[in-house]
Amino acid sequence: HLKALIFDVDGTLADTEQDGHRPAFNAAFRDMGLDWHWDVSLYGELLQVAGGKERIRYYLETFAPDRPPSPDLDRFIARLHARKTEHWVARLERGDIPLRPGVSRLMASARRAGVVLAIATTTSMTNVTALLRANLGAASLDWFPVMGAGDGVPVKKPAPDVYLYVLKHLGLPAHCCVAIEDSAQGLQAAQGAGITTLITPTDYTATDDFSGAAAVLEHLGEPGRPGRVIQGTGPE
Ligand code: XBP
Ligand code: MG
């Protein structure tokens, strides 16, 4: 019996990466006088690393651009990432990042059916609340009694920590919940917590390995715009 729907955020609620997070990172680089630029294809590679701060660190280590002048790398990354978050929130507040098809409708019908909504994301609480507020209004924050965010758990996705955190705080066993994700990292995290997972991929994650997903759907559908079933039989 379904008791809770647990939503990933980036890629699942909205197609946030290419025209949201990516330009926000680039704007932060400019602000801090760095001549780095993450184009669409490089960003696709960097998405293998979940978490913005972790992604910056990986970029530094792998592509070895000039090391930042600061002797304290952690502080430098934190400052750069905070700047990126400001750009991201500004972009959301301009209404630049809409929800994907069917997201709002599914949330509404789940709520009517008494199914609890929750969030399990790698991004920060600031970013989640800004996305929800911008698209669904401030009252929507009350629809989610439990929100698990990246910095609130020891290890980010693909580790199951954030899903285990959400299950614990919902007080529900995994078999009463369904997770909705867009990436292989997210799928692994949800599966690691024993949760049945539905996938709606984005352009960046279209070629990910989704074996083990209950179904892979083009999107969550909208009246007159049914989502194509890519793998599996689709939701029953
Ligand atoms: C999304 C992420 C995030 C965003 C950037 O993963 O990996 O890092 O790209 O957000 P998921 P921050 O969809 O699995 O939650 O810069 O705030 O980390
Ligand atoms: Mg995602």
Structural domain count, the chain: 2
Residue 9 sits in the same domain as residue 30: no
Q: Which residue's CA lies nearest to atom 7 of ligand 1? A: 50
Residue 109 sits in the same domain as residue 83: no
Q: Is the pLDDT of residue 235 over 50?
A: no
Domain of 73, CATH number, reads 1.10.150.240
Active site residue 209: no
| Predicted TM-score of the model (pTM) | 0.93
Among residues 77, 93, 109, the one where a domain terminates is: 93
State in Å: Cα 215 to ligand 1 middle. 23
Tell me the β-bridge partners of 179.
6, 197
Q: Is the pLDDT of residue 236 over 60?
A: no
Atom of ligand 1 nearest to the CA of 122: 15
Q: What is the pLDDT of residue 61?
A: 87
Per-residue model confidence as pLDDT tens digits over 23-33:
999 999 999 99
Residue 11 sits in the same domain as residue 23: no
Residue 134 sits in the same domain as residue 155: yes
Among residues 30, 59, 93, the one where a domain terminates is: 93
Per-residue model confidence as pLDDT tens digits over 160-206:
999 999 999 999 999 999 999 999 999 999 999 999 999 999 999 99
Residue 77 sits in the same domain as residue 146: no
- Residue-range definition of the domain harbouring residue 171: 4-15+98-232
Residue 111 sits in the same domain as residue 205: yes
State in Å: Cα 45 to ligand 2 middle. 15
Q: Which residues surround ligand 2, an ion (CB under 5 A)?
A: 8, 10-11, 182-183, 186
Q: How confident is the model at residue 229 (pLDDT cuts 50, 70, 90)?
A: confident
Q: Is the pLDDT of residue 72 over 90?
A: no
Q: What is the pLDDT of residue 63?
A: 83
Residue 197 sits in the same domain as residue 224: yes
User: In the chain, pLDDT over 70 holds for what percent of residues?
Assistant: 94
Among residues 42, 71, 93, the one where a domain terminates is: 93
Q: Are 165 and 140 in contact (CB under 8 A)?
A: no
Q: What is the pLDDT of residue 183?
A: 97
Q: In whole numbers, what is the pLDDT of the chain averaged over residues?
A: 93
Residue 46 sits in the same domain as residue 63: yes
Q: What is the value of ipTM here, to two decimals?
A: 0.93
Residue 35 sits in the same domain as residue 135: no
Task: Measure Cα distances from 19 to 84, 94, 180 in Å.
Answer: 13, 13, 21
Q: How confident is the model at residue 103 (pLDDT cuts 50, 70, 90)?
A: very high
Residue recorded with tokens 């008494």:
114
Ligand 1 probe mutation, 8, 10, 91, 199, most atoms within 8 A of CB:
10
Question: Pick from 222, 195, 192, 217: which is nearest to 205 by CA?
Answer: 217
Atom of ligand 1 nearest to the CA of 81: 16
Residue 125, Cβ neighbours under 10 Å: how many? 15
Residue 105 sits in the same domain as residue 184: yes
Residue 221 sits in the same domain as residue 108: yes
Q: What is the pLDDT of residue 94?
A: 93
Residue 103 sits in the same domain as residue 70: no
Domain of 207, CATH number, reads 3.40.50.1000
Active site residue 10: yes
